[in-house]
Amino acid sequence: MTVEYTDNDVSAFLAVLAAMLLDNVLQLDETVGRVTDFVMSNKPDRDTVVTLQSFDRIKQEFEALGDALARYAQAHPATPESGEERFRLGHDVISGITVADLKERLLNRLLPSEDQPLLPEVSPEEAAEVGVDVLY
């Protein structure tokens, strides 16, 4: 049995991925809030505050990616399968991202230069960590 995907199927799948990503952002935000409250109650040093700010930045990027994915899923079925409009769709979605560094990285991935790989290289150590849950 073969399964044919239509644009609606793809859009629905992308919308579900966007919703799940944004759900995870909410969980991350709650967790970071609890960690921040705990750390701030113990007079944190500068490095700890910078680390907490890094978590907030990651949250903002995940949120922006989820929003962009949702916008893409919504616009996908109404966009012709090929041509200038389809090409512009990705750029239009990315242009709506407010995190400047993330927007630049996405555009660089969308149109990589010859010396830039489409996907970053992952070391064997990093690859081994993917999918590993750490319990405390």
Which residues, in sequence order, are CB contacts of 67 under 8 Å at separation 6+?
A: 18, 22, 96, 97
Query: What are the residue ranges in the chain where pLDDT is below 50?
Result: 1-3
Write down the pLDDT at residue 1.
44
**Is 58 within 8 Å of 51 (Cβ atoms)?**
no
| pLDDT score at 64 | 92
The number of CA neighbours under 13 Å toward the Cβ of 104 is 3
The per-residue pLDDT for 3 is: 46
Of 52, 27, 29, 30, which is closest to residue 39 (Cα–Cα)?
Answer: 52
